[in-house]
């Protein structure tokens, strides 16, 4: 029997009883104790000196923390539309049947629960599951059967067949970034050398006034110039110019006792259909850490965090091992590469199942141990970020590109891509194509070329940059992947003519309703209203009135939502109503209005209690026809 | 030096640096609908009832710093339409039965509903299953009516120094919790005299045994609409310029 208080104490000790480390404290405690009981929450709150309710509030926000008892096994089926297209629902039902349980409910013996979770980033090798937060791709009917057997026999997940846990990289097209061969530390050495050169050349340069703020070393400034020259823009979707962000942070004053700056790598990759950061952190993690260290050098930061999504838990140990190696190589720690005062270290922070934490200010809140709620802005993180200090938050791919730029120069990078979109973009392609996986292209590539190269046939639609991005139809396939045409965080989901676009969108609306943080009224309630509307149409009760209602809700969300999640939640609906309206209209009744209250559905409990499901136990169609006429 | 001004629906509004659009408007006697705003606390920006358009772009007036020359649209048909939808969202999200609610007439949600002519809930009711907590000797906690404005949370933390309330859950399952392992208000150190017991804009935190001491019909918002009480919401010295 595990001694709970001993576990909690050792976890608290490991994290210095620091409340801002609450996410890791909760996760590590849960990994030992299986769930976070009321007593556990009380003990942790006392340990970090926070109000108990605040700790409970954080625990209650994240999908991967359990404040209710859960089974020894928790199977979560990734429920992105691409998993659905690969048959995840049938497999999940089969698994439930074999384990004698209902989805979402703990089995009677308290052994196992089976339910769905938002996209786990294994779209190119689905259907995927997480079992006790360990990722398993390529589920099949056979594997479901074997897994159910292992669960029934209570075999620990650690002893399950190792080949089940193998995650493929599936790199189909590598360009300068994925193909980059750079020795660890090279970009840093080049940056330092560039600074030394500049110091000689520009002993009394006009730049020196800026250096006075940080140090006498012109290196940070000339490295920043290379980043600016490169034209690099953020790869997380929004496309803010990286050089300007770094410069704003560098110029922002630090405050208080622990005055410093922070570098945060956003590896919360939660946008359904996106999995390129997972592959970057597997194949080019040195480059990512190097980019963070270059950023630290430029802005004068002493600490960096990688906010790794909880779904990528399996990457934690390899990344930590790599960080340890970089410390040994003097690429992290005190006096990096012998440069006095260049102190910087990186830590991996694991998320716990909340898409909203991909929003940079929500991410920072989460990193501080709080609920992942986006902040009011201004102020922005570059001036008031982590622990209220100036903070740079960039995407994984941005840091990797920044390392290359530091090593090879801004002009070199600028020579790839288009005039307004320098460099390359990594796409994560899934859905209806022969070769799903990772494709790196110079910016400016046409959608058509991408579709051809991934082996997509009879394509009906492509969802680019995930549900919050854009859905395009064949007549737009000559459009280009670039900030000036179609910007993207990387997701590229292909749907052929056999797919029902309505079901695609319905899946996305369920996603937004599940992932809304709930801070503001329009998003909290509006996303659920939209989800309900889609379910109503799916059930055959939709009318033209409901389509108009979608536009009203869209306008409310556009004008009043607190953050991008709310602003973009209607995008899939708006885009597909424009392009694929028949997908909706063929489901509509020809009525102007149909109440959401479904009389026949209301009788389902009575049917269940009486064990009946025959025609007479349902309201007849005849009756509905009569009411239609009336 | 003359103070700077901005413009709301054609009316010039003076402001002092650091004031939000909402604070400046209320100081000038111009009403902007709100529920999560309170003059004694830092602006929160979650209810979104105070949404306006500034130079054509939407913004929450409670969190937006006032700036000279801003053109603010507030009482336009477009914005009123959105505010009505927001109120209807709050009405269907919880369980609000005004005729049987002892806060009727003192409730800001109800008053704003009348003010903005919200005559139906429009959307389908969610009818959530929410508990009533009567464990405290002096105070009833009826979460059916909670609109998640977080005023009690802020009051308890910032004024009472007790942190009696917090939020748990996410999205539509987000809900108010209390600072006790049992989850019961009676097991906290909450007191009737706490600031947090006095700030609820709706009927969640109710002192026991005085429910109908003032009859319905003679209550705060029965005599005059919400907007006529604009003076009660003028910013205090303490809240001027302060923001999270």
Residue A364 has pLDDT above 60, yes or no: yes
CA nearest A597 in B: which residue? B124
Model confidence band, residue A443 (pLDDT cutoffs 50, 70, 90): very high
Q: How far is A41 from chain B (nearest CA, A)?
A: 8
Q: Do A521 and B46 touch (CB under 8 A)?
A: yes
Q: B4-75: what fold?
A: Ubiquitin-like (UB roll) (3.10.20)
Q: Do A521 and B168 touch (CB under 8 A)?
A: no
Tally of residues, chain B: 244
Q: Do A560 and B86 touch (CB under 8 A)?
A: yes
The answer to whether B155 faces chain A, any CB pair under 8 Å, is: no
Model confidence band, residue B23 (pLDDT cutoffs 50, 70, 90): very high
Q: Do B171 and A524 touch (CB under 8 A)?
A: yes
Kindly state the tokens that stand for A91. 């497999």
- In the three-class reduction of DSSP (H, G, I as helix; E, B as strand; rest coil), residue A268 is classed as coil
CATH number at residue A82: 3.40.30.10
Residue A410 lies in a domain: yes
Mean pLDDT over B163-177 rounds to: 98
Same domain, A492 and A554: no
Q: Which structural domain, as residue segments, surrounds residue A486? A: 424-499
Same domain, A269 and A353: yes
- Chain B residue numbers touching A556 (CB-CB < 8 A): 82, 85-86, 89
Annotated domain spans of chain B: 4-75, 97-222
Residue A270 to residue A516: CA distance in whole angstroms: 13
Model confidence band, residue A70 (pLDDT cutoffs 50, 70, 90): confident
Task: Provide the pLDDT for residue B82.
Answer: 97
Q: How far is A27 from chain B (nearest CA, A)?
A: 17
Same domain, A140 and A252: no
Q: How far is B174 from chain A (nearest CA, A)?
A: 6
Model confidence band, residue A620 (pLDDT cutoffs 50, 70, 90): low
The answer to whether A359 faces chain B, any CB pair under 8 Å, is: no
Residue A67 lies in a domain: no
Greater confidence (B237 vs B89) lies with B89
**pLDDT above 90 coverage of chain B, percent:** 90
pLDDT tens, position by position, A540-577: 889 989 999 999 999 999 999 999 999 999 999 999 99
Nearest to A52 among B124, B174, B179 (CB): B179
Residue A27 lies in a domain: yes
Q: Do B181 and A528 touch (CB under 8 A)?
A: no
Name which of A591, A563, A558, A560 is nearest A573 in CA terms. A558
Domain count along chain A: 6
Lowest mean pLDDT among A357-361, A374-378, A409-413, A609-613: A609-613
CA nearest B244 in A: which residue? A376
The answer to whether B109 faces chain A, any CB pair under 8 Å, is: no
The answer to whether A5 faces chain B, any CB pair under 8 Å, is: no
- Out of A499, A534, A559, a domain closes at A499
Task: Provide the pLDDT for residue A62.
Answer: 98
Same domain, A293 and A333: yes
> Is the predicted ipTM greater than 0.85, yes or no?
yes
Name which of A488, A494, A470, A439 is nearest A81 in CA terms. A494
SS (H, E, C) chain B: CCCEEEEECCEEEEECCCCEHHHHHHHCCCCCCCCCCCCCCCCCCCCCCCEEEECCEEEECCCCECCCCCEEECCCHHHHHHHHHHHHHHHHHCCCCHHHCCCCCCCHHHHHHHHCCCCCCCCCCCCCCCCEECCCCCEEEEHHHCCCCCHHHHHHHHCCCCCCEEEECCHHHCEEEECCCCCCHHHCCCCCCCHHHCCCCCCCEEECCCCCCCCCCCCHHHHCCHHHHHHHHCCCHHHCCCCC
**In chain A, what are the helix, strand and coil shares in percent, each to the nearest 5?**
50, 15, 35
Model confidence band, residue A626 (pLDDT cutoffs 50, 70, 90): very low
Residue B231 has pLDDT above 70, yes or no: yes
Residue A409 to residue A226: CA distance in whole angstroms: 6
Task: Provide the pLDDT for residue B240.
Answer: 53
Residue A295 has pLDDT above 80, yes or no: yes
Task: Provide the pLDDT for residue B238.
Answer: 53
Nearest to A559 among B45, B46, B82 (CB): B82
Kindly state the tokens that stand for B46. 């979650």
Nearest to A516 among B47, B85, B171 (CB): B171
Task: Provide the pLDDT for residue B229.
Answer: 92
Model confidence band, residue A447 (pLDDT cutoffs 50, 70, 90): very high
Residue A237 has pLDDT above 90, yes or no: no
Q: Do B168 and A354 touch (CB under 8 A)?
A: no
pLDDT tens, position by position, A189-234: 999 999 888 887 765 444 444 444 445 678 899 999 999 999 999 9
CATH class held by domain B97-222 = alpha beta
Do B32 and B74 meet the contact criterion of CB atoms below 8 Å apart?
A: yes
Q: Do A514 and B45 touch (CB under 8 A)?
A: no
Residue A468 has pLDDT above 70, yes or no: yes
CA nearest B161 in A: which residue? A51
Token pair 């012109």 in the structure block, residue:
A218
Q: Which of B167, B169, B175 to mutate to test the interface with A (most CBs of A within 10 A)?
A: B167
Q: How far is A535 from chain B (nearest CA, A)?
A: 13
The answer to whether B166 faces chain A, any CB pair under 8 Å, is: yes
Q: Which residues are paired to A463 by β-bridges?
A: A471, A493
Size of interface A-B (CB pairs under 8 A): 133
Residue A94 lies in a domain: yes
- Out of A390, A414, A438, a domain closes at A414
- Chain B residue numbers touching A44 (CB-CB < 8 A): none
Q: How far is A176 from chain B (nearest CA, A)?
A: 40
Task: Provide the pLDDT for residue A209.
Answer: 42
Task: Provide the pLDDT for residue A203.
Answer: 58
Q: Which residues have a Cβ under 8 Å from the Cβ of A273 and sit 6 or more positions away?
A: A80, A82, A119, A123, A428, A430, A431, A463, A466, A491, A492, A493
Do A99 and A91 meet the contact criterion of CB atoms below 8 Å apart?
A: no
- Chain B residue numbers touching A38 (CB-CB < 8 A): 181-183
Nearest to A522 among B79, B89, B171 (CB): B89
Kindly state the tokens that stand for A165. 């846990």
CA nearest A511 in B: which residue? B171
Model confidence band, residue A88 (pLDDT cutoffs 50, 70, 90): very high
Residue A591 lies in a domain: no
Mean pLDDT over A114-133 rounds to: 96
Residue A330 lies in a domain: yes
- Chain A residue numbers touching B172 (CB-CB < 8 A): 513, 516, 518, 524-525, 527-528
Token pair 């000689």 in the structure block, residue:
A200
Do B184 and B236 meet the contact criterion of CB atoms below 8 Å apart?
A: no
Task: Provide the pLDDT for residue B236.
Answer: 74
Residue A388 DSSP symbol: G
Residues in B 6-65 with any Cβ partner in A closer than 8 A: 43, 45-49, 51, 53, 58, 60, 63
Task: Provide the pLDDT for residue A628.
Answer: 45
CA nearest A41 in B: which residue? B181
Q: Classify burial at A295, counting beta carbons within 10 Å of its beta carbon; exposed 0-12, middle 13-18, buried 19 or more.
A: buried
Mean pLDDT over A395-399 rounds to: 98
Mean pLDDT over B95-123 rounds to: 95
**pLDDT above 90 coverage of chain A, percent:** 85
- CB neighbours (10 Å) of residue B90? 27
Q: Do A61 and B169 touch (CB under 8 A)?
A: yes
Evaluate if pTM is beyond 0.90.
Answer: yes
The answer to whether B118 faces chain A, any CB pair under 8 Å, is: no
Residue A177 lies in a domain: no
CATH number at residue A404: 3.40.50.11540
CA nearest B176 in A: which residue? A57
Residues in A 29-58 with any Cβ partner in B closer than 8 A: 38-39, 41-42, 51-54, 56-57
Task: Provide the pLDDT for residue A223.
Answer: 96
The answer to whether A270 faces chain B, any CB pair under 8 Å, is: no
- Chain A residue numbers touching B82 (CB-CB < 8 A): 555-556, 559-560
Residue A236 lies in a domain: yes
Same domain, A146 and A191: no
Q: Do B178 and A53 touch (CB under 8 A)?
A: yes
Q: How far is B32 from chain A (nearest CA, A)?
A: 15
Residue A624 has pLDDT above 60, yes or no: no
Model confidence band, residue A1 (pLDDT cutoffs 50, 70, 90): low
Mean pLDDT of chain A: 93
CA nearest B58 in A: which residue? A559
Residue A531 has pLDDT above 80, yes or no: yes
């Amino acid at each position: 029997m595990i001694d709970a208080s001993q576990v909690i104490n050792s976890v608290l000790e490991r994290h210095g009883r620091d409340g801002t480390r609450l996410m890791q404290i909760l996760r590590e405690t849960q990994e030992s104790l299986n769930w976070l009981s009321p007593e556990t929450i009380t003990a942790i709150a006392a340990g970090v000196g926070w109000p108990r309710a605040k700790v409970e509030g954080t625990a209650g926000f994240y999908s991967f923390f359990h404040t209710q008892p859960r089974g020894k096994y928790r199977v979560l089926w990734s429920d992105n539309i691409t998993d659905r297209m690969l048959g995840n629902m049938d497999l999940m039902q089969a698994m439930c049947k074999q384990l004698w349980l209902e989805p979402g409910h703990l089995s009677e013996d308290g052994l196992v629960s089976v339910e769905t979770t938002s996209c786990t980033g294994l779209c190119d090798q689905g259907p995927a599951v997480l079992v006790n937060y360990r990722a398993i791709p390529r589920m099949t009917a056979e594997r479901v059967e074997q897994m159910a057997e292992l669960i029934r026999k209570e075999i620990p997940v650690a002893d399950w067949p190792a080949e089940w846990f193998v995650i493929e990289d599936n790199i189909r097209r590598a360009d300068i970034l994925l193909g980059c061969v750079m020795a660890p530390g090279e970009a840093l050495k080049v940056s330092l050398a560039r600074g030394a050169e500049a110091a000689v050349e520009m002993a009394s340069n006009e730049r020196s006034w800026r250096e006075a703020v940080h140090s006498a070393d012109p290196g940070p400034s000339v490295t920043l110039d290379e980043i600016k020259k490169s034209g690099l823009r953020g790869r997380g979707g929004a496309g803010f110019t990286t050089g300007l962000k770094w410069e704003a942070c560098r110029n922002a004053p630090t405050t208080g006792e622990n005055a410093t700056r922070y570098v945060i790598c956003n590896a919360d990759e939660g946008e359904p259909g996106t999995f390129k950061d997972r592959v970057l952190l597997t194949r080019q993690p040195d480059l990512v850490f190097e980019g963070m260290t270059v950023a630290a050098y430029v802005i004068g930061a002493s600490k960096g965090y990688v906010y790794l999504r909880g779904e990528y838990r399996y990457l934690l140990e390899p990344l930590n091992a790599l960080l340890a190696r970089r410390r040994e190589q003097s690429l992290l720690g005190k006096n990096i590469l012998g440069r006095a005062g260049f102190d910087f270290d990186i830590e991996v922070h694991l998320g716990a199942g909340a898409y909203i934490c991909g929003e940079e200010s929500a991410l920072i809140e989460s990193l501080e141990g709080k609920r992942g709620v986006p902040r009011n802005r201004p102020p922005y993180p570059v001036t008031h970020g982590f622990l209220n200090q100036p903070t740079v938050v960039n995407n994984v791919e941005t840091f990797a590109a920044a390392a290359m730029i530091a090593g090879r120069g801004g002009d070199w990078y600028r020579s790839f891509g288009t005039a307004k979109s320098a460099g390359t973009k990594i796409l994560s392609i899934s859905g209806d194509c022969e070769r799903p996986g990772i494709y790196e292209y110079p910016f400016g590539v046409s959608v058509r070329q991408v579709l051809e190269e991934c082996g997509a046939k009879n394509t009906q639609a492509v969802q680019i940059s995930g549900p919050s991005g854009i859905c395009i139809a064949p007549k737009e396939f000559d459009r280009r992947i670039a900030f000036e045409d179609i910007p993207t965080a990387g997701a590229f989901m292909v749907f052929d003519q056999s797919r029902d676009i309505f079901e695609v969108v319905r899946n996305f609306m369920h996603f937004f309703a599940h992932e809304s943080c709930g801070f503001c009224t329009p998003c909290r309630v509006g996303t659920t209203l939209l989800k309900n509307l889609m379910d109503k149409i799916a059930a055959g009760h939709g009318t033209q009135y409901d389509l108009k209602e979608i536009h009203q809700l869209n306008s409310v969300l556009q004008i009043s939502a607190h953050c991008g999640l709310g602003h973009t939640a209607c995008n899939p609906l708006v885009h597909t109503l424009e392009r694929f309206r028949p997908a909706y209209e063929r489901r509509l009744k020809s009525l102007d209005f149909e109440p959401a209250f479904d009389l026949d559905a209301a009788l389902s409990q009575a049917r269940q209690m009486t064990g009946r499901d025959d025609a007479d136990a349902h309201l007849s169609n005849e009756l509905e026809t009569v009411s239609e006429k009336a | 030096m003359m103070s700077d001004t901005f413009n709301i629906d054609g009316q010039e509004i003076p402001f002092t640096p650091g004031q939000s659009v909402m604070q400046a408007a209320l100081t000038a006697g111009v009403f902007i609908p709100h529920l999560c705003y309170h003059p004694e606390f830092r602006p929160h920006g979650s209810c979104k009832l105070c949404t306006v358009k500034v130079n054509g772009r939407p913004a929450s007036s409670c969190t937006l710093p006032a700036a000279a020359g801003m053109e603010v649209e507030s009482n336009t048909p477009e914005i009123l339409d959105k505010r009505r939808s927001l109120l209807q969202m709050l009405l269907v999200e919880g369980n609000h039965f005004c005729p049987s609610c002892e806060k009727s007439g003192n409730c800001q949600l109800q008053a704003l509903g009348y003010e903005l002519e919200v005559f139906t809930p429009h959307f389908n009711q969610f009818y959530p299953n929410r508990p009533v907590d009567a464990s405290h000797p002096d105070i009833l906690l009826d979460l059916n009516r909670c609109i998640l404005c977080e005023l009690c949370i802020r009051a308890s933390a910032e004024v009472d120094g007790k942190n009696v309330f917090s939020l748990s859950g996410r999205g539509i399952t987000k809900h108010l919790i209390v600072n006790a392992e049992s989850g019961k208000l009676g097991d906290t150190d909450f007191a009737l005299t706490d600031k947090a017991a006095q700030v609820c804009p709706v009927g969640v935190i109710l002192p026991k045994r005085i429910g109908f001491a003032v009859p319905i019909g003679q209550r705060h918002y029965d005599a005059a609409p919400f907007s006529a009480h604009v003076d009660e919401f003028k910013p205090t010295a303490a809240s001027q310029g302060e923001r999270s």
